A and B are shown apart, each in its own frame.
Chain A
Amino acid sequence: MRKIDPLTIAAFGFALALILAWQLLAELNFISPIFFPSPSRALSVLAARVLDGSIWTPFFATALRMLFGWALASLAGIAIGAAIGSSRLARDLLEPTLDFIRPLPASAMIPIAVLFLGLSNAMSLSVIAFGAIWPVLLATVHGFSSVQPELRQVSDVLGFSRFEFLKKIALPSAFPDIIAGLRVSLAISLILAVVTEMQASLPGLGWDIFFAQRMYRSADLYAGLVLLGVMGLTANHALMLFERRVLRWRNLHA
């Protein structure tokens, strides 16, 4: 078996200690259990909802919202970023507008999105795409504009067309940057999925915890939070595994 790093044990110990402290504070009725349920209660509610299957509908609703919104943001971000990063014209044309839009908080776009699209999934996805596009877009711009000049010259000497250069040289060269951007965008997608659910009463874990809070069912609230944490962690890890596979060449050394 692989040897376990003592620091890993310590890290798990730290988390466990926090949960125990939480349990202890709750047992002492330090704060009313209406606001502050014990972890054992939160976890048993979670276990019950997992077992009776009622948790999966909101779980997958939120997961799909996050993934579709992220996919939209990624496709648009990579396309626009590639254009800006590889063409002077696109950069001069688009950058001023984008620089103006970028600092707008995505949550401020919700009212506009609701006006146009109603309290719908389309509204939610457009808000997620708007908020999550920036990290991947900026990373793509950086990746495409920092291709080694030598590689550009190699491409010119070999007579590659512009499209072939972008496909065979610029895109793979920008890939490490793009993946880093994708990971930040994924985290933002989850945040905005939850926010739009709360704002527009769309089905999902975000709406569930919002509703649980209104009903003073704090154990349900915390159960939902735990599950959102698991979702974020899983998505990030999946992307990390993908990164390690695709960027295998980066981790190999002589």
Chain B
Amino acid sequence: MQVKAKQTVGGGKAAATTPGMSMYQVSLSYGASSPERRLILENITLDVREGEFLCIVGPSGSGKTTLLRMLSGLVKPTTGEVRFRGQVVSGPSRERAIIFQDYSKALLPWRTVAGNIALSLEAEGMRPADQQPIVAALLSKMGIVRAANQFPGQLSGGMQQRVQIARCLAQRPKILLMDEPFGALDAMTRQALQDEILILSGEQRMTVVFITHDLEEAIYLGDRVVVLGDTPARIIETIDVDLPRPRDQLTTREDPRFLAHRHRLFGLLRRH
């Protein structure tokens, strides 16, 4: 539907042999002294394969967001290491785009939609004349051409989230880190955006790490689903989602395998 433009921007073809991202025995705790020391994440070892769509589910407050921040480099692990294409992650980078749940806080409300997307290009020092065609391509890719000169506050939640995705694509990331991006949207908009992100990641072979607390969303989108148990968060299970692609909101969700995965995940999370 809206995502039909040809590939003009976005991640290059990945070398299939280098692993995408990994976390090795990563723990994170806040507070220095022992009495108020709080362990948030415990001994997480995780591989994100190049080009895969990895979903992470867990109860709210389980440290999912913190885990994503660590992959981006915004938060440093207390122990263990995070690697991106073999290199230890020491800070944030343009190669790892992060999409926040609260789009209204992540967009610049004083800039138009086009201006928000251009921010990523300004950051690499691109001349305004060169920015213009790239912004135009992203606007049409995300189906927001008509909103180009509007301000985020004038748009619906779904539209604002499209703007945020477009801005992230403009930074030509190698990996998209999405933090419950559709959690605040209504059901119809959420399904539309789920399908758009599947098409986007599929056509660009983009690696995606997608955090959600919605089990069905995780199964519908993911190649694999990682289940976190809470306080402190640990990986309690990783399941391979053996559902065919392209996925379809009706048939995929009615597939007996879909229901079986849902059953299993539900049981896992209830026990923890």
Contact = CB atoms under 8 A, between A and B. Distances in A.
B94 A150 contact: no
Interface residues of B, number: 29
A148 interface: yes
Contacts of B156: 254
Which of A151, A158, A173 has the most chain B CB within a 10 Å cutoff?
Answer: A158
Interface string A162-198: 0010001100110100000000000000000000000
Interface stretch (B117-125, B207-215, B250-258): B117-125
A12 interface: no
A24 to B, nearest CB: 51
Contacts, number: 68
B72 to A, nearest CB: 7
B65 to A, nearest CB: 11
A116 interface: no
Interface in B126-165: 150-151, 153-156
B171 A158 contact: yes
B42 interface: no
B123 A158 contact: yes
Contacts of A254: 153-156
Given A154-B106, A157-B94, A172-B108, A253 B171 contact: no
Given A151-B106, A175-B110, 12 more contacts: A150-B105, A151-B108, A153-B100, A156-B74, A157-B98, A158-B94, A172-B111, A173-B110, A250-B153, A252-B153, A252-B154, A253-B153
Interface of B: 72, 74, 91-94, 96-98, 100, 102, 105-106, 108-111, 119-120, 122-124, 150-151, 153-156, 171
Interface of A: 148-151, 153-154, 156-160, 164, 168-169, 172-173, 175, 247, 249-250, 252-254
